[in-house]
Amino acid sequence: MTVLAIDQGTSGTKAIVVDPSDGIVGLAEVPVAPVYLSDGGVEQDPSALLDSVVAAGRAALAAAGRPVQGVSLANQGETVLAWDPGTGRPLSQAIVWQDGRAASLCAELSDHRELIEGRTGLALEAYFSAPKLAWLRRNVTTDGVVTTTDSWLLHHLTGEFVTDVTTASRSLVLDLDGRRWDAELLDLFGLGEEQLPRIVACDEPLGTTSAFGTPMAVGGQVVDQQAALFAQGCLDAGQAKCTFGTGAFLLVNTGATAPRSGNGLTTSVAWTLRGQSAYCLDGQVFTVASAVRWLTDIGLIGAPTDLDPLSADGAGDVLCVPALAGLAAPWWRGDARAVFTGIGLASTRGNLVTAVLQGIAAQIAELVSVVEADTGEPLQLLRVDGGLTRSRALMQAVADLCQVPIEVYASPHATALGAAAMGQLCLDPALTVPDALGHGGISGSFVPLWDAARAQDFLARWHAVAERNLEEK
**Structure confidence at residue 59 (pLDDT):** 98
DSSP assignment string, 50-96: HHHHHHHHHHHHHHH-S---EEEEEE-SS-EEEE-TTT--B-S-EE-
**Structure confidence at residue 470 (pLDDT):** 85
Report the SS3 class of residue 332. Answer: coil
Residue 374 parent element (H or E): helix 349-375
**Structure confidence at residue 176 (pLDDT):** 97
**Structure confidence at residue 473 (pLDDT):** 61
* 199 dihedral zone (left: phi>0; alpha: psi -120 to 50; beta): beta
Residue 471: other Cβ atoms inside 10 A: 7
Separation between Cα atoms, residue 184 and residue 175, nearest integer Å: 10
What is the gyration radius of the CA atoms in the chain, in angstroms?
A: 21
Q: Which residue stretches of the chain have pLDDT < 50?
A: none
Closest CA relative to residue 65, chosen from 110, 126, 4, 5 = 4
When the pLDDT of each residue in the chain is averaged and rounded to a whole number, the result is 95
Closest CA relative to residue 470, chosen from 378, 280, 338, 344 = 338
Q: Across-strand partners of 81?
A: 147
For 31, list phi and psi in degrees, rounded to 5: -70, 150
**Structure confidence at residue 439 (pLDDT):** 64
Pairing verdict, β 319-321 and 42-44: unpaired
Residue 305: other Cβ atoms inside 10 A: 10
- Predicted TM-score (pTM) above 0.85: yes
Where do the domains of the chain lie, and which CATH numbers do they carry? 3-227 (3.30.420.40), 285-407+445-471 (3.30.420.40)
What does DSSP assign to residue 178?
T
Instruction: Please answer whether residues 97 and 78 qualify as being in contact, where contact means their C-beta atoms are separated by less than 8 angstroms.
Output: yes
